Amino acid sequence: MRRALRELGVSTWFAGLRRNQAESRAQIPYLEWSGGRWKVHPIAEWTDRDVHRYLTKHQLPYHPLWEQGYVSIGDRHSTKPIHEVGTLEETRFYGLKRECGIHAINLGDL
């Protein structure tokens, strides 16, 4: 991702981050200047219900792992289904953090 943004000269990128996904995302603005480019969060205020309504309205499928209890997808080794953990935060990276790194660092510096 970092290399693609740099090599393609991307000046704006869109991300599907939502404020209710994690404490670290609670204050996400709709538009921010990040790493020398604009980063847009068009669904920042959407709830899980909003996502469900959108997918249903447009006849789009949920992620195939949703039915197995994966309410959030991270990496293969540290993502857990909700029935194996005590809280939503614990479904990713053993509950130690929510972000994988792509949104937590300044991509323009790399």
- Sheet with 37-40: strands ordered across: 12-14, 37-40, 31-34
Tell me the two tokens of residue 79: 């993502």
Annotated catalytic residue 100: yes
How many CA atoms lie within 13 Å of 78's alpha carbon, on the beta-carbon side?
13
Active-site position among 6, 88, 100, 108 = 100
State how far Cα 90 lies from the chain centre.
15
CA distance 68 to 88: 15
Residue positions annotated with a catalytic role: 100
